[in-house]
Amino acid sequence: MQPSFFLPYSITTREENMATPSDITAASIIILLGLFGVTVNSYVFFAVSKSKTFGYAFGRICMSHTVANIGITGVFASLVGPITLL
């Protein structure tokens, strides 16, 4: 007899592991909003970098914040949305 730590945490059937319609809807919304966020923040990054009025410290802070936003929305689009389907 095997020790209990070798036993799976829970034994589920294939139907219990499938994504529900609400999971698919939630994942789709997360992925679409994430892609929208990446697109908008990429545009803002290039617009701020080309603008002469944002060439000083405030522009650098805006660009730094925009890069962070691109990373966050990219993670939501590429990781959080698909993991929701699991």
Per-residue pLDDT of the chain (86 residues; tens, 9 = 90+): 555 555 555 555 556 678 899 999 999 999 999 999 999 999 999 999 998 888 789 989 999 999 999 999 999 999 999 999 88
As a whole number of angstroms, the distance between CA 12 and CA 17 comes to 7
- Check: CB of residue 28 under 8 Å from CB of residue 76: no
Cβ atoms within 10 Å of 77's Cβ, excluding its own: 20
As a whole number of angstroms, the distance between CA 47 and CA 20 comes to 41
Tell me the whole-structure pTM to 2 decimals: 0.75
**Residue 34, C-beta contacts closer than 8 angstroms, at least 6 positions apart:** 73, 74, 75, 76, 77, 78, 80, 81
